[in-house]
Amino acid sequence: MNTAAIDELARLRGVGEAFHDYRGELQHFSLATKAALLRAMGVPVDDPVALEAALASARRARWQRLVEPTVVSRPQSGGIAVVTRADEDWITLQFEIHVQDGGRHDGAVVIRELAALERQTIDGVLYVRRSLPLPTDLPLGYHRLVVRVGDHAPVETRLIAAPACCFQYGEKRSGVSGVFEHGGKRGWGIAVQLYALRSADNWGIGDFRDLLGLVERAAATGADFIGLNPLHALFPANPGHCSPYSASSRLALNVFYIQPESLLEFAQCDAAQLRFSDAAFQQQLRAARAATQVDYVVVASLKLELLTVLYRDFCSHYLAGESVRGRAFQLFVAERGEDLRRQGLFDALDEFFRLRRGRESGWRNWPSEYHSVSSPAVQAFAIEQADRVQFYMWLQWVATEQLAVVQQRARELGMSIGLYNDCAVGADASGAEVWGNRDVFAVGVSIGAPPDRLALKGQDWGLPPQDPGLLEARAFEPFAALLRANMRNGGALRLDHVMALFRQWWVPAGHAARDGAYVHYPLDLLMAIIALESVTQRVVVIGEDLGVVPDEVRRAMAEFGVYQYKVLLFEKVGDAFRAPSHYEPRALATATTHDLPTLRSWWQGDDIRLRERLALYPAAEVAWELAEERRRDREQFLQALSEAQRLPAAPRQGDDPYSDSLADAAHGFLATSRAALVAVQVEDLLGMIEPVNVPGTSTEYPNWRRKLPVTIEALFARPDIDRSLRDLSRLRAI
């Protein structure tokens, strides 16, 4: 194996050399890991001749192409990079900019007049990288840039005209200038897991009608947003696979959040009403509603059965002839295009092979002739099962309609943000997103995390990464499409594990998680796309930046106006908790999160005992060490609350029992902070102990299933909770 060639090619393809581990020690990545990652990128590392050819091509690519496949222009960028031969600096360079919505800008300049940035000799030829200024009045958007040097063939590239930074909370301007005017009111909201909501009449899972009711009640207390778990599409044919962070596709919605009775078809469909009123059906609904955990299998069976009946009614009443509703669906199909068609195809195929052929869910378990979305077998299935494919496309339309109603209602009620959505860092390897976009996902590798104190073996999340080189070949359109899909119906978006925009820990198949390596991504280019989509759709962007955050990510978040994610339990200076006056203004602050213990659990140490019972600690003494650390943290926590004048008059001690007043004090502490946004977990309003999710577990703990103990109606009927929420609103307005 050619060590030097692999090292250099890995570096050129974005693989890091080393990193500092959780102990601060420098760890170098092994040759075997680099070779495995290059294989995942399609590099023939085991063929010496092909490897040398790949290396030569990678060297030339940086210097022998006139312009990168995708370039960015921002108000403060000064220009884009172009590469020309040094002996051609007397030639005129011409460019044309074809604007996204029409129009054209032309320009020409003698190459030697452009500022030189760097030089490099390749194959005996000196190349110079220069800065080409572009017009400053370009409209925001995705444009087409054509560059020509003399009589050489023109080179076409994608030009992203991006704003200075993302849309800002309270902003009154477009964001192009980078100067923002804030409305003065600091925002706050309630964070929930949608599936966990209870109501008097849902189907055993929180749905979009429940969300509408929550929005209406929260808005009445002054809330600015409702924070949600990812609403990504899961696997209708395999409903037990319920993690919203391991979705089938982040480009589509979870159809089990549809509320069937709210559909227009339900009011006129005798067959649906007859089935719905059936005694056995109602008994199943009552049992699903009463369960303390979501029974996804039962919910899926009930909803898909009735939705199929309603779909048939839609086809006969609206799609068969000319109707406004039928045309609305057809327009939706046309606008969503290939992504929607592939989603419908995937769900229909997965249902076919799982329910009719008894196979495991996911495309990797289908017969091999169905592994490619464009294969003859898949195209034949699309024709033979066109109605079922359309059914699943219809479900996406219905889900989108119902979600849009919620966001519209939130804004009508004066919520400054409305829905605060969440976009997961990856998608399931066997799901629709990967199946439909195999040309951008790396094969034989998954993302995870290097070893840390609580996971000495590292973590393998089982999610395939997008290859930065393949993304570049697609002009990063899959990334832009992902953002658009998750910004459509909301006023804020949380990007899970924002550090993935800079680097991702790739774990080769068959390797231990600790034997992975970091692969780097074009951070500033991705941030520019985020800023463009954010400003275009007027969506605030929050980057989940917990854990080790590289300086490059901190710099980019500040420069591009991405909000930080501040968790009270982690915000410490030394041993002391950070004072409210020292919180970052451009941030969303929260006491805890779905991956952390509730406030009550944290105070009582229930989370430590739970993880100990589940054997999640690498050594027996870790639980004891954490319990001692927690005891000290409780004292420091009380000290911080006291100094912020959030505690009641009676003094408290770190070993005192938990009380609701402690949660009120913590929320008041955050409400008086400088953070622009504050989120309150509904579990903390209710004083719950059971966590939403226990990281590091799958079947050991019922993650993503636990419901709230009360209905939405009962939650807001409690005087103590109503008072707590109105106090939050008052403190945020000061």
Using alpha carbons, list the distances in angstroms from residue 726 to 222, 295, 591, 599.
Answer: 7, 34, 18, 20
519: β partners? 15, 504
Tell me, what amino acid is at 304?
L
How far is the C-alpha of 578 from the C-alpha of 485, rounded, in Å? 36
Backbone φ and ψ of 82, nearest 5°: -130, 150
Q: How far is CA 59 from the centre of its chain?
A: 33
Residue with tokens 């360079």: 93
Instruction: Determine what percent of the chain is predicted with pLDDT higher than 90.
Output: 91
Q: How confident is the model at residue 499 (pLDDT cuts 50, 70, 90)?
A: very high
Q: Give pLDDT, residue 172.
A: 63
448: β partners? 460, 505
Residue 425 DSSP symbol: S
How far is the C-alpha of 606 from the C-alpha of 243, rounded, in Å? 23
Range scoring the smallest mean pLDDT among 174-188, 189-203, 589-603: 174-188
Average pLDDT of the chain? 95
Alpha helices by DSSP H, 125-269: 208-220, 264-268
Range scoring the smallest mean pLDDT among 136-145, 181-190, 220-229, 566-575: 181-190
Q: Give pLDDT, residue 175.
A: 47
Residue with tokens 């009676």: 650
Question: Is 0.85 surpassed by the pTM of this model?
Answer: yes
Backbone φ and ψ of 249, nearest 5°: -155, 135
How far is the C-alpha of 341 from the C-alpha of 381, rounded, in Å? 13
Q: Is the pLDDT of residue 337 over 50?
A: yes
Q: Is the pLDDT of residue 506 over 90?
A: yes
Residue with tokens 């074809």: 98
Q: Give pLDDT, residue 173.
A: 52
Residue with tokens 């599409």: 233
Closest CA to 98 of 158, 180, 153, 43: 158
Contact 333, 391 (CB under 8 A): no
Which three-class secondary structure string do you get for 27-68?
Answer: EECCHHHHHHHHHHCCCCCCCHHHHHHHHHHHHHHHHCCCCC
Q: Give pLDDT, residue 185.
A: 64
Using alpha carbons, list the distances in angstroms from residue 330 to 313, 347, 391.
Answer: 16, 19, 13
How far is the C-alpha of 501 from the C-alpha of 526, rounded, in Å? 7
Q: Give pLDDT, residue 714.
A: 98
Give residue-wise pLDDT tens across range 637-650. Answer: 999 999 999 986 55
Strand pairing category for 459-463 and 517-520: unpaired
Average pLDDT over residues 248-264: 98
SS3 223: coil
Q: How confident is the model at residue 183 (pLDDT cuts 50, 70, 90)?
A: very low
Instruction: Determine what percent of the chain is predicted with pLDDT higher than 70.
Output: 97
The neighbour count for residue 677, using CB atoms within 10 Å, is 28
How far is the C-alpha of 562 from the C-alpha of 544, rounded, in Å? 10
How far is the C-alpha of 187 from the C-alpha of 673, rounded, in Å? 11
Rounded to 5°, angle at Cα 469 from 467 and 472: 110
478: β partners? none
Average pLDDT over residues 646-671: 85
Contact 411, 474 (CB under 8 A): no
Q: How confident is the model at residue 181 (pLDDT cuts 50, 70, 90)?
A: very low
Range scoring the smallest mean pLDDT among 177-191, 344-358, 468-482, 516-530: 177-191
The structural domains of the chain, ordered by start, are 78-161 (2.60.40)
Give residue-wise pLDDT tens across range 410-456. Answer: 999 999 999 999 999 999 999 999 999 999 999 899 999 999 887 88
Q: Is the pLDDT of residue 182 over 70?
A: no
Give residue-wise pLDDT tens across range 72-110. Answer: 999 988 899 999 999 999 999 999 999 999 999 999 999
Q: How confident is the model at residue 533 (pLDDT cuts 50, 70, 90)?
A: very high
Reading the block at residue 439, the tokens are 């040309």
Helix (H) or strand (E) holding 132: strand 125-132
Q: Give pLDDT, residue 177.
A: 41
How far is the C-alpha of 215 from the C-alpha of 225, rounded, in Å? 8
| Contact partners, residue 191, CB within 8 Å, separation at least 6 | 226, 227, 228, 420, 590, 594, 679, 680, 681, 682
Residue 123 DSSP symbol: T
